[in-house]
Structure 1
Amino acid sequence: LSQIIRLIEEAQASKAPIQALADKISSRFVPIVLLVAALTFIVWFVFIGQSLAFSLMAFTAVIVIACPCALGLATPTAIMVGTGKGAECGVLIKGGQPLEAACKVKVIVFDKTGTLTKGKPEVTDVAGVGLTDEDEVMSIASSLEKLSEHPLAEAIINYAKEEKIPPKQVDLFKAIPGHGVEGQVNNQKYYFGNRKLINEIVGLDLANIERKIVKLEQAGKTVMILSSEKEVMGLIAVADTLKENTVEAVHELKKRGLSVFMITGDNQRTAQAIAQLAGIKNVLAEVLPQDKANEIKKLQARGIKVAMVGDGINDAPALAQADLGIAMGSGTDVAMETGGIVIIKNDLRHVLTAIDLSKETMSKIKQNMFFALFYNVIGIPIAARVFAFIGLILKPELAGLAMALSSVSVVSNSLLLRRFRPNRKNYLSIIAPFIMAIVFTLLFIEFGRLSTGMNK
C-alpha cells in the first residue's frame, strides 16, 4: 500500500512531455508581454499624450492580466486529477509520460500466459510412446519441472501430486530458454520441452506422433514432449483458459480502432487457436523470451506507437521497449516495476480505462492551454485600453481579479475529470469548456465596463 501511495504521489508531481510545450510558450510569452506593456505605455504617454497616471495604469493592467499562472497550472492540475482518478478505477499510472503515451497508442501487444489467459494451466492429456507408460512419463516430467521456473511447470507438478506419482532425483538440471529443460534421472539423460527442443537440439524425428501433436495444438493446447537422447518417450498437453473479460476487452479495443496482437512462445497452431477464441487476428508465435523486445522494435519500425501488456519476468524487456508498458497487478515485481501503467485489479478491461482516461486527461490539458491563451488574447487588448473609444478599459485591480479567475477556470476544468467513469461519456466535461469560454468572455467585457464606471 505504501508503495502504491508513493508511486501516485510521484506521478502527480511528474511532468508530461506536453508540459514542455507550456514551458516553451511561457518562456517566449513573458518577454512578449513585457514588450507589449512597454509599447502600451509609450503609445499612450508619448504619442497620444495621455497623463502619466493613465499610461501607467494601462502598463500595469497589461502586466497583471498577462501573468501566465493559468498556463503553468494547465498540465499539473489535469495530471494530478487524472492519476488520482486512475487509482480509484484500479489503474496505477506512474507519471505524466505514460499518461500522455497511452492516448497515442495505435497497437497493443498482449502476452498470452497470465495476461490473456488465467495463468493457471492444467494438464489435459498424458500419453506414452512405445513401451513407456503414462505414469513413467509423468514421473520423469514432473521431476524435471520441479526445478523449473516456467509457468507451465506448476501444472505438471500439481497433476503428479493429484495422481500420487512420486518424483525422482534429478541431477545436472539445465533450463534451455524458449525450448524446455534437461536433466539426469538414474544416470539417464532426459529432455522435456517443445518440438524445437526435440527436433533441433536432441535431433529426434517426431513423425510417428506428429498427427497426435497437431490435433492437440489445434484444440489450443500446449504440447510438451519427453525424450531420452535416443527416442521420444511421451507427451503431455497443458491448456490455459482465457480470462472471463478477455474477449470483451479485445472487442472494445478493436472497436476504438486499435490493432491488437498476441505474442507467445507457443507454436503457431496453439497460438492461432487461442487467438481465435480471444478474437485476435495478429499473432506473433514461437517467440523466445529474449526476442519479445525485438518484435516490439519491428512494430515500432513501422512508425506506430506500441503498447505492451504483460505480467512475467520475460515480459520486462518488451515492456521497457514499448512506447507504453502496461503490467498486470497479479504479475511479477519486475514487470510491475518496468511498466508505466499497472492494472491493479488484473482486469483487462482496465486497459481500456487507462486509454480512455489518458485521452480525456490530454484533452483537458489542451483545453486548459487554450483557456490560458484565450484569456490573454481577449484580456491584453482590453487592459492596453485599445477599446477605450467604446468605453472598455481594465483597471489593474480588476485585471488581477480576471487573472485569478482564469486560473480558477483552468483548475475547475481539470476537476471535471473526477466525473470520469469507465465506458461512459462525461457529457458535463464535454460541454463545460464551451460554457466557460462564453461566461468568461462576458466577464471580461463586464470588468471593462466596471473599470470605465470607476474612472467616472
Structure 2
Amino acid sequence: MSKNRKQKMITPEIMRQAVVGAFTKLDPRYMMKNPVMFVVEIGFVISLVLSFAPGLLGDTTPNARVYNSIVSAILFVTVLFANFAESVAEGRGKAQAASLKKTKKDTQARLLDADGGERMVPSSELKKGDVVMVSAGGVIPGDGEVIEGIASVDESAITGESAPVVREAGGDFSSVTGGTTVVSDWLKVRITSDPGDSFLDRMIALVEGASRKKTPNEIALNTLLVSLTVIFLIVIVTLYPIALYSGVQLQTSTLIALMVCLIPTTIGGLLSAIGIAGMDRVTRFNVIAMSGKAVEACGDVDTMILDKTGTITYGNRLAADFFPVGGACREELVRCAALTSLHDGTPEGKSTLALARLQGEDCGEPQGARFIAFTAQTRMSGVDLPGGRSVRKGASDAIEKYVSEMGGKVPEDLARRVAEVSALGGTPLAVCEDSRILGVIYLKDTVKAGMAERFKRLRAIGIKTIMCTGDNPLTAATIAKEAGVDGFIAECKPEDKIALIKKEQAEGKIVAMTGDGTNDAPALAQANVGLAMNSGTAAAKEAANMVDLDSDPTKILEVVEIGKQLLITRGSLTTFSIANDIAKYFAIIPAMFMMAIPQLGVLNIMDLATPHSAILSALIFNAIIIPCLIPLALRGVKYRPMSSGRMLARNMMLYGLGGVIAPFAGIKLIDMLIHPLLALWGF
C-alpha cells in the first residue's frame, strides 16, 4: 500500500461510516458477540420500556418517567460510543482495503499452452500451475514464481516503494505478486495461487477485518470481563431484597445504573477496537499480519533469531581483495576465483567476477564445463572442467574438508589469513583447485548504524537476540561483538535454525525470526513469529505468519515493539476500567441508601448534591469516558523499553491510580453541572 495512503489516521469519510456503523451494530445478534455491552443494551431496553410504563415493575416514585428516560438515553449513548469505537478502528482497515482493491485489475494474460502456443485469457481464469508470459509494460496477472527471464518490476501498488526491483528465475528473488507491473524485459511466470486466494486477496481480507478472529488473549480477557459481569449481576439481583428488608425502595433504573457502572464497560467497549487497531498499526508499517494472534505473539517474544546478512549487516558482501596462501601465485588464485563465479548469481559471486576482471582476468567460459551451484548444505560452489579438473570456492572449513577428502594438504598460512579477514569483520571464502588450496577471497560487509542501540533496547525489555550466520566462528564473534547481540551461531545451516528454535521453545520461550528463502521456510513455520520478506520465495511467505512488504529484515524489531504496545494498551485500559469502579461505588452506594441509613453519608466523600444527581453523574461519566479513550485505544499506550517490573509499576501508577482519581474528579464536575438542571425537573 502506498505510503501516502498511510498518513492520515482518521478521515471525514471514516468518521461518517463509523457513525452509521455505530447504529447498525445495535442489532442484538451482533451485540451478543460482546457480552458486556450486550448487558448494557438489555439495560437500555428495560429502562426505555419503563420510560413509557414507569409503574410496570411497581415503581411509584415521583418523576419516574423522566428519570427512566434519562437513564435509558445515557445507556443508549454508552452502547453507541462502544460501537463507534469499534467502527472507527474497522473503518481505517476498510479504507486501506478500498485503496488495495483499486490495484486489483482483471487484466488479459498471455497463457502459454503445453504445445508451445499462447492465447489471451482473463486473469481471473488463471489456475495454480498455469504458465504466463509478461512483457515490459504488462501487469503480472497473479501471484507466481519466475521460471525464466529477468526483469525490473514496479511493486509500488503493493509496497508503496516507487523504485523498481529485479525479479529473476532461481534464487530467493523469484517470487512475484499479482497486480505489479513489469517495467523492462520479460518474465515467464508459473502461477502459484488459485482465483480469490492471491496475496492481494488475503491482504484485502485481513485489513478489511473479514477474516479477523479473536486471539487467545482476547478470549481470556473476554472471559474475565464476562465473569465480572455475572458476579455484578448476582450482586444487583441480591441487593434488591436486601434493600427491601432495610426499608429502601430502589427504582429498577437505579439498579440498572448501578450494574452498568460496576461492570467493566470501558474496556468492554474498547476491547475490539484495541485488537483491530493493533493489526492496523502493523499494516500501516507495511507489514501484513496473517492473524491477530501473530501480532500478539510479537508482544510475548523472548528470543529473536536474526540473520547476519541483510539484518545486522547491510548484506552487500562484496569481494574486496584476494590473498594467496601456500605459495600459490595471485594470478592463479584470481583466475580460479573467477571460474567458480561465472555462473554464480549471488552478490558475492558477481562481485568476485567483477574484481577479477578489474585485475585483468579474461574470465572466458571454458567449453564443456559443468558448474556446481552453492547450497546451504555443502557451503561451496564451483566448476568441473574437462579433463577431470575441479575448482571450488566456499567456507574455509568446507574447502578444507573437500581438499582433505581428495588427499590434499591444508596450507599452514590458511588459518592465519582466515583469522585476519575474520578479525576485520569480513567473510573469508577459500578457493581450491583439485586438492590444492590457492587462497582466500576477502568479502567485506558492514554492520548497520544504530544496531547496538536497538539491541540494547530489546535487552532492556528482556528479549534475547541470537545472530545466525554461515561465517566462521571468528568472523561471527567479531560481528556479534560490534552489533551487541547476546549470542551467535556460526557456520549455521537451515537445520541448525530449526534446532535452535525448538530448543528455545522447549524452554518455554516465544521465538521470532526473519527469512526470505525456501530454505528458511521450515524455520519460519516453526517460529512463533515468522516474518518473511515480500521479495522472498513463495514458500517462505506461505510458511510465515507475517510478510514485510518493504523486505526490510530489521523491521522485526519494530514489529515486536508494536506487539508489546498492543498488550500494554490492553492491560493498561483494563486496569483503568476496573479501577474506575471504586469511584463509582462511592458515588452510587451512598446515594441509594443514605435516606434509609444516614450513617452511609460518611461514604459520600465527593459531597454529591442529591441521590439522583449522584447516580446520573456516575452514569454519564461511564458513557463519556469511552470516546475520550478512543484515540488512546487506536494509537496505543506509548511504548518505552524497560523491564517488565518497571513497566508494571509505571502502568499501575498511571492507569491504576489514574483510573481511581479520574472518576472522582469527573463525577464531581458532572454533578456540579447537572444538579441545577435536575432541580428544575424536581429532582
- Under a length normalisation based on structure 2, what TM-score does the superposition of the two structures give? 0.55
1:414 aligned to 2:633? yes
Give the whole-Å Cα distance in 1 for the aligned partners of 2:454 and 2:299. 17
Shift of 1:413: 3.3
Which region of structure 1 is more displaced relative to structure 2, 434-443 or 33-42? 434-443
User: Could you tell me which residue of structure 2 aligns to residue 108 of structure 1?
Assistant: 304
Aligned positions of 1:42-441 closer than 5 A = 42-45=241-244, 47-51=245-249, 54-65=250-261, 69-86=265-282, 95-127=291-323, 134-135=330-331, 137-148=333-344, 152-160=348-356, 162=358, 164-168=362-366, 170-171=369-370, 173=372, 175-178=374-377, 179-188=379-388, 189-202=390-403, 203=405, 204-208=408-412, 209-254=414-459, 258-280=463-485, 282-326=487-531, 338=544, 340=546, 342=548, 344=550, 346=552, 348=554, 352-376=557-581, 378-379=583-584, 386-389=592-595, 390=601, 392=611, 401-415=620-634, 417=636, 437-441=660-664
Identical amino acids, percent of aligned pairs: 23
Equivalenced residues, count: 448
1:25 aligned to 2:221? no
Give the whole-Å Cα distance in 2 for the aligned partners of 1:190 and 1:32. 77
Give the whole-Å Cα distance in 1 for the aligned partners of 2:210 and 2:306. 25
Shift of 1:128: 5.1
Contact map agreement 1:143 1:170 (CA 8 A) in 2: no
Give the whole-Å Cα distance in 1 for the aligned partners of 2:574 and 2:517. 39
Give the whole-Å Cα distance in 2 for the aligned partners of 1:11 and 1:271. 45
Contact map agreement 1:383 1:394 (CA 8 A) in 2: no
Q: 1:77 to 1:437 in 2, by over 3 A?
A: farther
- Name the SS of the counterpart of 1:152 in structure 2: helix
Shift of 1:239: 1.9
- Name the SS of the counterpart of 1:207 in structure 2: coil
Shift of 1:269: 1.4
- Which of the numbers 8, 31, 35 marks the counterpart of 2:234? 35
- RMSD of aligned residue pairs (Cα, Å): 4.2
- Under a length normalisation based on structure 1, what TM-score does the superposition of the two structures give? 0.78
Give the whole-Å Cα distance in 2 for the aligned partners of 1:48 and 1:98. 54
Q: 1:205 to 1:48 in 2, by over 3 A?
A: same
Q: Which has more helix, going by share of residues?
A: 1
Which region of structure 1 is more displaced relative to structure 2, 241-250 or 253-262? 253-262
Contact map agreement 2:291 2:545 (CA 8 A) in 1: no
Which region of structure 1 is more displaced relative to structure 2, 220-229 or 321-330? 321-330
Specify every segment of 5 or more residues in structure 2 that has no aligned partner in the other structure, as ranges.
2-99, 101-157, 160-202, 596-600, 602-609, 643-649
Specify every segment of 5 or more residues in structure 1 that has no aligned partner in the other structure, as ranges.
none
Give the whole-Å Cα distance in 1 for the aligned partners of 2:617 and 2:569. 27
What letter is aligned with 2:364? P
Contact map agreement 2:318 2:444 (CA 8 A) in 1: yes
Which region of structure 1 is more displaced relative to structure 2, 330-339 or 291-300? 330-339
Q: 1:256 to 1:418 in 2, by over 3 A?
A: closer
- Name the SS of the counterpart of 1:206 in structure 2: coil
What letter is aligned with 1:441? F
Which region of structure 1 is more displaced relative to structure 2, 87-96 or 290-299? 87-96
Query: Residues 189-245 of structure 1: CA distance to partner in whole angstroms, max 9, x if unpaired?
Result: 333322333333452431343333333333333222333443334432322222233
